[in-house]
Amino acid sequence: MKSFGHFDDVRKEYVIQSPQTPYPWINYLGTQAFFSLISNTAGGYSFYKDARLRRITRYRYNNVPIDMGGRYFYISDNGTVWNPGWSPVKTALDFYECRHGMGYTVITGKKNDLKAEATFFVPQNYDGEVQQLVLTNEGSAAKSFKLFSFAEWCLWDAQDDCTNFQRNFSTGRVEVEGSTIYHKTEYRDRRDHFAFYTVNDTIDGYDTDRDAFIGLYNGFGDPQAVANGKASNSFADGWSPIASHYKEITLKPGESKTLVFILGYVEMPADKKFEADGVTINKEKAHAMIEKYNTPEKVAAGLAELKAAWDKLLGIFNVNTSDDKVNRMVNIWNQYQCMVTFNLSRSASYFESGIGRGMGFRDSNQDILGFVHQIPDRARERLIDLASTQLEDGGCYHQYQPLTKKGNSDIGGDFSDDPLWMILSVGAYIKESGDWGILDQLVPYDNDESKAKPMLHHLDVSFYHIVNNLGPHGLPLAMRADWNDCLNLSCYSDKPGESFQTYTNPKFAAEGGYSKVAESVMVAALFTYAGPTYVGILKHLGKDAEAAKAQAEIDKMKENVMKSAFDGEWFLRAYDSTGAKVGSKECEEGKIFIEPQGFAVMSEIGKDQGADIKTLDSIDKYLNTKYGLVLNNPAFSKYYIQYGEISTYPGGYKENAGIFTHNNAWIICAEAYAGRGDKAFEYYSKIAPAFNEDISDLHKTEPYVYGQMIAGKDASRFGEGKNSWLTGTAAWNFVAISQYILGISADFDGLKVDPSIPKAWDGFTATRKFRGATYNITVKNPDHVSKGIKSLTVDGKAVEGNVVPVFSVGGDHEVIAVLG
Ligand code: BGC
Ligand code: NOJ
């Protein structure tokens, strides 16, 4: 199959060698407040904190051709116009390379002996994207050429920007000062922020009006100004403001010139917005920002600082197995993706427009599971933000906007699984940090400080929200949807345009909006999986009576599941609003679903009757394919109105029998839990992106990050990936490989070591920094088993069980685990 690039593990980069990848292969710059998306041809956009409410540069989704719009350098050399990243001019290059690294991207193009190397990154603690362009004349004669930069401003609110043209075509405003172009739309009236695009050198002209630079009937690939060979010093007044620098450059043979461009964002206190004239932007802060990175030396230092920060983050958990692909996923790319999903939830990617969904309640809580070891303090902050959007009865707003941190009332709540994920995420945070204090912190309900209660109370109401909302079989009500947004057992509709998730079916309006009959077995199993974390917390706090009460609810739920939701060979998926089984051998289609199975197995529901192994074997038999596990089988081939959105998808796509990589991880965990390390690893390697690099032209999306979905066996594009980057797949597969297969997990009172690996492995080594100490772990597998600790020693001393204690004194500790 065709190759588009390769991994460079030493530099922690993916190296793309052809600009025409099967889909734009992107990277993210920024991890704190200023973010950019950048494709391998420099397409993409930037925003501050919130991709919807504070969009800095413009991007058009679903464009033709795809991925038009980004930060572009146009070089006009003796009649040949080209971009270092090939697009948008698409002049064939003599050399092209894109290196996506940890928070930076380097794109290099060469044409007719002129080399242009562009490095893009967002420095630490900096609200801007630094772009360093190094131009080198590699020929033997002097070269004179023209350089144009380009960025297109978005008028801040990305939703409004792409809909409200009658207003927006008249509001755009800019200022130009030397080599800096300022974007100040609405700054005079109701905004305290502006953006700028600057270069650290004199310029020979600029453009700030899009039509002047590009031309009304031209495109990004043939801008008028570049064709004319000069800028027109255009001044945007309404329409579409842009920023473009123009510079004439001559280089002697062998000579290089380095230019540093900065795309920055500035917020000003209301009383300091203007200079004395009351009109001109007060640029003090902007000047200080520019000063920070206006030389190649400062850029080099900023880049080194960024790389050091990533080395440190990735040094927290590190493994050395006999499989390079596992190593590069675990040590580099999966952890990197976990940072991105933690930061952006499901808001902005090449499949998420940045205006659709903000921070998802269930999504962000799950993202924390894969991120918490990196920066526990940031996980803590996120937990507080999430819990603040919870309602007093334990229900939750399903999403919130990152800028306002307010629950999004358009989507509302009543997703039956939401509260349970917070038990897992808070548990994971305490296990990682040992910070029990979080449970005492006062956290508002519904963002109302007067309703603040300790975090522990939020966990109580989360747990009892399930217990208090059971259906006829004593199983949790399915409500609008559970984890599967498309299994809408109440919100089904037959009219186009009604949202399946928020539509209130008149049938159930009087009952509070959803059926009191439809039940979710998936939520039941998630409850029995997450519940013990809550019980563990209560026990640790000495609340034994509460712990016993909660445990009794968990035990009862397990009984109810065995009584009404075990279908003989696997667990049912649900009961619909008529009380009919969903995901049963009795069903015509959709006889088996993946979602409840892994949690049920890990909760040991019906284990004494062999339910766990029967279930795992059924998954292998009915859901396993060469590219991963499909969500349900057989795929729905017609519309089952009573199930909601799920069967609106053609078979093999998305929730209708697509390979949802997110819940493949739950089965990987369950197989590992059951001690079947070979199966766990088989499923892991089928979907882990590095393992699919060789089939990139089929797989299509980036070989270094997970996508939400791979088309299932019922699809004609079986094996094709979609929706890359922002998916709970990142966190859950990191959990699956690190905690379940490699078996290293933080626990309340220590670090647990309990691998479940392929029998053929001789073992592996790992380094884990945990609560101030460094654990150097060696796992030996002399008997070639998958699971079971025969002996565990720490610094030469034997330890009972499989949990290594916390070392409050820090330091390095040698852990040796022998399997057998
Ligand atoms: C989509 C699903 C998707 C979900 C995300 C639904 O409306 O169709 O496929 O996973 O929204 O929230
Ligand atoms: C994507 C959503 O972000 C996630 O919350 C959901 O669980 C899955 N789709 C499955 O529907």
Judged by its nearest atom, the ligand closest to the C-alpha of residue 360 is 2
**What local confidence, expressed as pLDDT, does residue 496 receive?**
85
Nearest Cα residue to atom 7 of ligand 2: 483
Cβ 63 vs Cβ 78: under 8 Å: no
Distance of CA 470 to the CA centre of its chain: 32
Residues with CB under 6 A from ligand 1: 485-486, 645, 654-655
Quote the ligand 1 centre to 347 CA distance (angstroms): 13
**What local confidence, expressed as pLDDT, does residue 275 receive?**
96
Quote the ligand 2 centre to 485 CA distance (angstroms): 6
Cβ-proximal residues to 283 (8 Å cutoff; 6+ apart), any chain: 177, 180, 182
Cβ 606 vs Cβ 612: under 8 Å: yes
Judged by its nearest atom, the ligand closest to the C-alpha of residue 707 is 2
Cβ 705 vs Cβ 337: under 8 Å: yes
Q: Is the CB of residue 196 below 6 angstroms from any atom belonging to ligand 2?
A: no
Judged by its nearest atom, the ligand closest to the C-alpha of residue 483 is 2
Cβ 755 vs Cβ 779: under 8 Å: yes
> Of 209, 414, 485, 747, which one is the catalytic site residue?
485
Please tell me what DSSP assigns to residue 584.
Answer: S
The pLDDT-based confidence of 324 (bands split at 50, 70, 90) is: very high
Query: Is 485 tagged catalytic?
Result: yes
Question: Look-up: residue for tokens 């793309």?
Answer: 16
Query: What does residue 359 show for φ and ψ, rounded to 5 degrees?
Result: -95, 120
Question: Look-up: residue for tokens 């596990």?
Answer: 629
- Tallying the residues shown for the chain, one arrives at 820
Judged by its nearest atom, the ligand closest to the C-alpha of residue 503 is 1
Ligand 1 atom at minimum distance from 500 CA: 7
The pLDDT-based confidence of 412 (bands split at 50, 70, 90) is: confident
Over range 788-794, report the average pLDDT: 98
Nearest Cα residue to atom 11 of ligand 1: 485
Give CA–CA dist 716/704, Å, rounded.
24
Per-residue model confidence as pLDDT tens digits over 658-667: 999 999 999 9
* Paired tokens of 492: 């089904």
The pLDDT-based confidence of 437 (bands split at 50, 70, 90) is: very high
Q: What is the CA radius of gyration of the chain?
A: 28
Cβ 768 vs Cβ 326: under 8 Å: no
Quote the ligand 2 centre to 486 CA distance (angstroms): 8
Query: What does residue 353 show for φ and ψ, rounded to 5 degrees?
Result: -75, -5
Give CA–CA dist 546/449, Å, rounded.
27
Distances (CA, A) of 626 to 20, 325, 592, 623: 27, 18, 18, 10
Cα atoms found within 13 Å of the Cα of residue 334, Cβ hemisphere only? 29
**What local confidence, expressed as pLDDT, does residue 493 receive?**
81
Ligand 1 atom at minimum distance from 501 CA: 7
Cis peptide preceding 634, ω within 30 of 0: yes
Buried (b) or exposed (e) across 440-450, using 16+ Cβ within 10 A?
ebebbbebeee
Give CA–CA dist 433/806, Å, rounded.
11
Give CA–CA dist 463/730, Å, rounded.
26
Pairing relationship of beta strands 114-121 and 34-39 according to DSSP bridges: unpaired
Per-residue model confidence as pLDDT tens digits over 675-695: 999 999 999 999 999 999 999
* Paired tokens of 667: 């089965």
Q: Which of 662, 661, 526, 640 is nearest to 590 (CA)?
A: 640
Question: Helix or strand or coil: residue 175?
Answer: strand
Instruction: Give percent of the chain with pLDDT exceeding 90.
Output: 94
Cβ 707 vs Cβ 721: under 8 Å: yes
Give CA–CA dist 331/343, Å, rounded.
19
Per-residue model confidence as pLDDT tens digits over 708-724: 999 999 999 999 999 99
Question: Look-up: residue for tokens 């009959």?
Answer: 517
Distances (CA, A) of 771 to 319, 379, 729: 18, 15, 26
- Which of 300-309's residues contact partners 24+ apart within 8 Å by CB, and which partners? 302/121, 302/123, 302/124, 302/126, 302/130, 303/104, 303/119, 303/121, 303/123, 305/123, 305/124, 306/102, 306/103, 306/104, 306/121, 306/123, 306/124, 307/101, 307/102, 307/104, 309/124
**What local confidence, expressed as pLDDT, does residue 636 receive?**
98
Please tell me what DSSP assigns to residue 608.
Answer: G
Question: Helix or strand or coil: residue 522?
Answer: helix
Quote the ligand 2 centre to 21 CA distance (angstroms): 27
Ligand 1 atom at minimum distance from 708 CA: 10
The predicted model scores a pTM of 0.98
Q: Is the CB of residue 367 below 6 angstroms from any atom belonging to ligand 2?
A: no
Pairing relationship of beta strands 5-8 and 803-805 according to DSSP bridges: unpaired
**What local confidence, expressed as pLDDT, does residue 407 receive?**
86
Question: Look-up: residue for tokens 């520019």?
Answer: 290
Distances (CA, A) of 681 to 48, 574, 688: 39, 29, 10
Quote the ligand 1 centre to 654 CA distance (angstroms): 8
The pLDDT-based confidence of 26 (bands split at 50, 70, 90) is: very high
Per-residue model confidence as pLDDT tens digits over 142-195: 999 999 999 999 999 999 999 999 999 999 999 999 999 999 999 999 999 999
Distances (CA, A) of 58 to 43, 69, 161: 11, 7, 8
235 versus 403: the higher-pLDDT residue is 235
Per-residue model confidence as pLDDT tens digits over 459-502: 999 999 999 999 999 999 999 999 999 999 998 788 888 888 88
Ligand 2 atom at minimum distance from 362 CA: 5
Quote the ligand 1 centre to 486 CA distance (angstroms): 6
